[in-house]
Amino acid sequence: MKPPAIRIATALILAAGIAAPGVVAQQKPARDFDKEIRAAVESAKTAAGFDFLGTLARICRCLRAGAKTPMTPYRTTSQSRRARRRVTPGTQTPRRSLTISTFVGGKIHSSWALTTSQGIILFDTIFPYNSEELIIGGMKRLGLNPGDIKYVLISHAHSDHIGGAEMIQKQYGARIVMGGPDWQSVERYPNRYKTMAPKRDIVATDGMKITLGDTTVTIWETPGHTPGTLSYTFAVRDQGRPVNVAYSGGTAFNFVNNTPNPGIQNFQTYINSQRHMAEQAAATRATVILSNHSEFDNAVNKNRMIAGRGNGPHPYEVGAEGVQRYFQVMQGCARAAQLKLEQQLAP
């Protein structure tokens, strides 16, 4: 509410139709950042519904208006070690029945084998220490030949996704596809990528198509989570019916996110990428959202639901509208975090 004196002054200026000399221009009311942050979080919550609570919890959880620590902090090395210890190799059964795409991941991290008429396209390779057992072992248990892996698409160069890439390239001669900036990271930090550094191979570009036999995967650059993060759209068949999939390749805010510079720009990069992916998902009428962590697409639980599916819809199918909501969750949480940084700059 404006103070009465200013309101009168404003009314006089408007009535005169000219700026009165000597009258101080009315100050713009200060932005209510807390309200804007609440609205962004609320939009993410609404979009999440009951379908994407894991994603919401991960990237929106610290975003109460006025909270001092707005974002998921960088995962430290000791936290990563703890996370690694939590992963028990082999505890998640590989699923052939998953006709959307074959799951050969673990309880936390996912790897997917997309079978085509001319071989297999593998999405992500989990950690170096469990990729042999979970991916190679899992494929063999399902009667798939790891020698048929022709392409390995790495969503981004973090150890929970690139871990088995070097091994699969060396042992099976698969072509490795990764974003340019993430190839650079692998080459720049050999110690960080010991035993998991494939030799530079295919550098992905936005819109690039990887075709194997009857199947084409389209790659989309979605920088944010890492500078070279990749996401994909592709079609699979479920009980003979074509189903379109959107695969989201990087989710958490583990870029520099706690200072306005470069945090605000980093969040903008991330938000733009989610918009880009949402557009591609809409254009292909994607009704399935896949991720590389079970906490985001609920893979482990959905895999269990497949057995009881009967003639019902595939548990991974959330509908075109559901897929769009997924990207709205990512955008809403990122916008809220970005607003927290903008608030720091406000006078």
Chain residues binding Zn ion by CB under 5 A are 158
CA dist 77 → 74, 125, 254 (Å): 9, 20, 13
Q: Shortest approach of Zn ion to residue 178 CB, angstroms?
A: 13
Q: Quick one: 75 or 140, whose CB is closer to Zn ion?
A: 75
Q: 112: burial class by Cβ within 10 Å (0-12, 13-18, 19+)?
A: buried
- Which residue of the chain is nearest Zn ion when measured via CB? 158
Q: Report in angstroms how near the CB of residue 302 gets to Zn ion at its nearest.
A: 21
User: Residue 139 in contact with residue 145, Cβ under 8 Å?
Assistant: yes
* Residue 179 burial (C-beta neighbours within 10 Å; 0-12, 13-18, 19+): buried
Minimum Å gap between C-beta 327 and Zn ion is 18
Query: How far apart, in whole angstroms, are the C-alpha atoms of residue 101 and residue 103?
Result: 6
| Shortest CB 83 distance to Zn ion, Å | 11
Closer by beta carbon to Zn ion, 95 or else 158? 158
- Closest listed residue to residue 227, CA positions, set 282, 263, 266: 266
Give least dist CB 161 to Zn ion, A.
Answer: 6
Q: Which is nearer to Zn ion, 158 or 340 (CB)?
A: 158
Minimum Å distance from CB 162 to Zn ion? 9
Tokens of 347: 């006078």
Q: 24-33: b or e for each residue (b if 16 or more CB lie within 10 Å)?
A: eeeeeeeeeb
Find the shortest distance in angstroms from Cβ 257 to Zn ion.
Answer: 14
Q: Which is nearer to Zn ion, 37 or 330 (CB)?
A: 330
Closest distance between Zn ion and the C-beta of residue 282, in Å?
Answer: 25
Residue 293: CB minimum distance to Zn ion, A: 8
Nearer to Zn ion by Cβ, of 65 and 271: the residue is 271
Nearer to Zn ion, 154 or 236 (CB): 154
